Homo-oligomer: A and B are copies of this chain.
Amino acid sequence: MESSTQYQLLYHRLKKEILADVYPIGSILPSENDLCAAASLSRSTVRQALSQLETEGYIIKQKGKGSIVKSKSRSLNLLSFHGFSAMVDKTKISTLSVQEPTFMPWPEDFPFELSELEKGAGCIHFARVRAVERLPVMYELTFVPNLNLPRFVRQFKLNQSFFEFLAKEYQLEITGMEQQIWAVAANSTHTQHLQVESNTPLLKISRKYHSNRSHLNLYSTLYCNTEKYALGNTSGVLNQSL
């Protein structure tokens, strides 16, 4: 929002329009020359904006064809659930509420160090369980500092995408992440939510998300049952098309 340069203004405008489905996933952006004419910019400037959208994973450029919308959010190579052969069908994923959003003090044994600002603000907490074909696979606890996020507790519904809600409601975008991963044995809380036997090996992931609003970080801890579905991701340049 503080962007003053021409290519950043265009970059933000296009990103906003991709998010608002003006250009849905799979569609083609106006050609570089069209964008030049519409915004009265040189082609280099337009290409600079498109280049940023490309490196952040929003579009793919194809010579002779155009700029194809690829994703509605920056691809950060996050771990996500995969079946062993094919990706899990999104329609088969359901969400169960464990803890509706509520104000609370920060937990004592928090896995990341908090700034004074975050400590003072207190946190909003919610927890949910994700299931694939009725099988609980992930127990997720999320902690958000209570910093200028009005109406969050009332408006956020657990069955929607957390990141898309933040983007739409607060223009908050995740710009980076750090995480730590362990293998742990299931305790009584996990056996309850994930329907596994005690001491079942679980994947534990603690994440700190960085956002475009400085000093505002989001935190979450995941417990995953990987007996049936593994967590997977890809990173780097993929060989696209032929």
Taking CB atoms, residues of chain B closer than 8 Å to A230 are 180-182
Tell yes or no: A175 within 8 A of B by CB: yes
Query: Contact flags (1/0) for A217-242 with B, using CB distance below 8 Å?
Result: 00000001010001111111111000
CB distance from A206 to the nearest CB of B (A): 8
User: Which of chain A's residues 166-197 have a Cβ closer than 8 Å to chain B?
Assistant: 174-185
A235 touches B177 (CB 8 A): yes
List the interface of chain A (C-beta within 8 A of B).
44, 55, 74, 76-79, 82, 174-185, 199, 201-203, 210, 214, 224, 226, 230-239
Closest 7 CB pairs of A and B: A176-B236, A201-B201, A183-B201, A182-B226, A180-B230, A183-B183, A180-B232
Taking CB atoms, residues of chain B closer than 8 Å to A176 are 234-238
Report the bound CA distance from A37 to B174 in whole Å: 40
Report the bound CA distance from A44 to B43 in whole Å: 13
Q: Which of B178, B181, B199 contacts A203 (CB 8 A)?
A: B181
Taking CB atoms, residues of chain B closer than 8 Å to A78 are 235
CB distance from A103 to the nearest CB of B (A): 28
- With A77-B77, A210-B239 already in contact, the answer to whether A232 and B201 are too (CB < 8 A) is no
Q: With contacts A79-B181, A210-B237 known, what are 11 further pairs, Cβ within 8 A? A: A44-B44, A77-B235, A78-B235, A176-B237, A176-B238, A177-B234, A178-B232, A181-B231, A182-B203, A185-B201, A203-B203
Report the bound CA distance from A74 to B236 in whole Å: 9
Taking CB atoms, residues of chain B closer than 8 Å to A236 are 74, 76, 174-177, 210
